[in-house]
């Protein structure tokens, strides 16, 4: 079946769409769990019935091999939607607060309520996963939603705009297509939550706009995710997993390994192992392979080509480029300095700079001198190195001896820290992102017999009573003299042990 035409949403329609969703949300139809499950099932079938059309659209947008779309997007997305369908009743159940004597009679309860009408802004690189997974979270939370896919994936975005009204309730879930003018108009509206996934540059624009409407925002951004390779690693496994992480979707993955830090003495072995793997992955070259994606747009192709041309490093493998079909060959560059063009921004392409370091300590220093990354990878068989790297750095997520898998692993939140994003999603975390945890109390009249002292006029008796009720007693402070006393006990105990040992030695010597 043909992919429909990409048609941007008329900018003037956007305030009306927002208002219509607000009215539909207030009518309360999103709230019953049965309705949420019905829409989640419809969302699952939207994907399942159209898997081949989505693969076709992504092949058109990203030159993406069908198997890569299956592995990287379809399976995980369907799994997430099904999990929300199975779990929503449990997730949405009100939660009793932990028991506290003073408040127990008021039945303190956390109600899990939908935030309202939410906006999901999506980047180009994994449009299926990054649209439908958060949308499942929004539906499960009981929200109405607008999704705004990327203009850089027109085939996908057009297909989505065609399918959503066929499967989902159009009064509650809408697709707005377009680029800067349409997103700008969307951001002029107030939202009960915005999930923005994309670049740090655009995140600044989104956050500034959201500040004007006081719309809460989760940002899922990117950055340069480092890989630390230790000489103790399983070399072949390391090379296969690292090269796969870098070449999947032609490196256009937010958690792709961006650059490698490797001890100087081990560098050549690692580079050769990666070259061997590239030759196995693409025996006739990546340009001829139907297992290799293309760069999304001429602009990104030109950006990557310029970074490669300006680099002061040495191309150890690859370097081929072809503007006509936006092809960039998997490329390994050695001798890269920290001030090289390849270290100046998130690469978001199949180029792997290798930076030689003295040791793991220097690698950790380099990571810590830069923005906290979205992901950090360490390849080693040495448990001390694993601990040293994990304890000594900060990042959104971290994986030992593999790449990318943290995004799809069940039960793990996915998100950045600092400049790589704030907040997290996937699974229950997406439900939580779009849910307001509303604190409630239900206070019976008789409790004023105990708590009546809060009302004026205040007397000595009521002050004493309220203090007894509300001010907790603290454990006794450990005084300095007490600490000294314990110190003396330890000294005396040690002396006694030493004397006993000496006595035992004397007795033993006399016996001989």
Please give the residue ranges that form the binding site for ligand NAD (CB under 6 A).
121-126, 130, 148, 150-152, 179-180, 183-184, 197-199, 202, 205, 220-222, 254, 346, 348, 374, 416, 421
SS3 144: strand
For ligand NAD, the closer of residues 15 and 487 by Cβ is 15
Question: Can you list the alpha helix ranges (DSSP code H) found in 234-382?
Answer: 235-247, 267-281, 298-310, 360-368
For ligand NAD, the closer of residues 362 and 371 by Cβ is 371
For ligand NAD, the closer of residues 271 and 367 by Cβ is 367
* Closest to 288 in 3D by CA, of 251, 327, 324, 243: 327
For ligand NAD, the closer of residues 74 and 271 by Cβ is 74
* Closest to 424 in 3D by CA, of 432, 414, 409, 412: 414
188 carries an active-site annotation = no
Beta-bridge partners for 195? 120, 218
Sorted by sequence, the CB contacts under 8 Å of residue 382 that are 6+ apart come out as 230, 232
Residues in the chain: 512
Q: Closest separation between CB of residue 204 and ligand NAD, Å? A: 9
For ligand NAD, the closer of residues 122 and 364 by Cβ is 122
Q: Closest separation between CB of residue 420 and ligand NAD, Å? A: 7
Catalytic residue among 80, 133, 220, 346: 220
Give residue number: closest CB to ligand NAD.
Answer: 222
Q: How far apart are the C-alpha atoms of 226 and 224, rounded to whole Å?
A: 6
For ligand NAD, the closer of residues 73 and 169 by Cβ is 73
Q: Closest separation between CB of residue 176 and ligand NAD, Å? A: 10
Sorted by sequence, the CB contacts under 8 Å of residue 488 that are 6+ apart come out as none
Q: How far apart are the C-alpha atoms of 15 and 20, rounded to whole Å?
A: 9
Q: Closest separation between CB of residue 15 and ligand NAD, Å? A: 16
Q: State the residue for tokens 């769409």.
A: 17
274 carries an active-site annotation = no
Q: State the residue for tokens 């033993």.
A: 508
Q: Closest separation between CB of residue 14 and ligand NAD, Å? A: 13
Q: Closest separation between CB of residue 84 and ligand NAD, Å? A: 18
Token pair recorded at residue 187? 């951001």
Catalytic residue among 143, 233, 254, 403: 254
CB of 280 within 8 A of CB of 243?
Answer: no
Number of Cα atoms under 13 Å in the Cβ half of residue 33: 12
Active site residues: 220, 254
């Amino acid at each position: 079946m043909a992919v429909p035409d990409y048609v941007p949403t008329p900018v003037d329609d956007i305030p009306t769409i927002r208002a219509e969703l607000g009215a539909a949300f207030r009518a309360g139809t999103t709230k019953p769990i049965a309705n949420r499950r019905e829409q989640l099932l419809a969302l699952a079938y939207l994907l399942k019935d159209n898997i081949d059309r989505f693969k076709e659209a992504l092949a058109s947008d990203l030159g993406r091999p069908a198997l890569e779309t299956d592995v990287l997007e379809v399976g995980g997305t369907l799994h997430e939607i099904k999990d929300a369908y199975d779990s929503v009743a449990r997730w949405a159940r009100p939660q009793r607060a932990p028991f506290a004597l003073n408040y127990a009679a008021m039945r303190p309860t956390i109600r899990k309520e939908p935030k309202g009408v939410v906006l999901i802004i999506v980047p180009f690189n994994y449009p299926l996963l990054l649209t439908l997974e958060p949308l499942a979270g929004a539906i499960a939370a009981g929200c109405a939603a607008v999704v705004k896919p990327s203009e850089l994936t027109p085939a996908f975005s057009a297909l989505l705009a065609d399918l959503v009204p066929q499967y989902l309730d159009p009064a509650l879930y809408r697709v707005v297509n377009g680029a800067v003018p349409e997103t700008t108009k969307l951001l002029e509206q107030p939202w009960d939550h915005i999930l923005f996934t994309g670049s740090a540059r655009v995140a600044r624009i989104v956050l500034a706009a959201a500040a004007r409407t006081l719309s809460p925002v989760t940002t899922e951004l990117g950055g340069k995710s480092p890989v630390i390779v230790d000489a103790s690693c399983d070399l072949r496994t390391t090379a296969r997993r690292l090269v796969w992480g870098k070449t999947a979707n032609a490196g256009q993955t937010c958690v792709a390994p961006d650059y490698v830090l490797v001890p100087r003495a081990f560098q050549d072995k690692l580079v050769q192992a990666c070259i061997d793997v590239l030759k196995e992955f693409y025996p006739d070259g990546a340009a001829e392979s139907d297992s290799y994606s293309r760069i999304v747009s001429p602009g990104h192709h030109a950006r990557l080509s310029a970074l490669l041309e300006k680099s002061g490093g040495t191309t150890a493998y690859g370097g081929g480029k072809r503007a006509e079909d936006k092809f960039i060959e998997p490329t390994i560059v050695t001798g890269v300095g920290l001030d090289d063009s390849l270290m100046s921004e998130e690469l978001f392409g199949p180029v792997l700079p290798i930076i030689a370091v003295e040791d793991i300590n220097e690698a950790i220093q380099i990571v810590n001198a830069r923005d906290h990354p979205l992901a950090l990878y360490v390849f080693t068989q040495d448990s001390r190195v694993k601990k040293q790297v994990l304890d000594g750095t900060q990042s959104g997520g971290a994986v030992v001896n593999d790449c990318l898998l943290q995004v799809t692993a069940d039960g793990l939140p996915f998100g950045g820290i600092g400049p790589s994003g704030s907040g997290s999603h996937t699974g229950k975390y997406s439900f939580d992102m779009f849910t307001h945890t509303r604190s409630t109390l239900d206070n019976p009249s008789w409790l004023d017999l105990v708590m009546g002292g809060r009302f004026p006029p205040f007397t000595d008796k009521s002050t004493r009573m309220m203090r007894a009720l509300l001010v907790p007693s603290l454990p006794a402070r450990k005084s300095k003299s007490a600490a000294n006393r314990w110190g003396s006990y330890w000294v005396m105990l040690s002396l006694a042990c030493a004397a006993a040992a000496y006595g035992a030695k004397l007795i033993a010597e006399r016996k001989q």
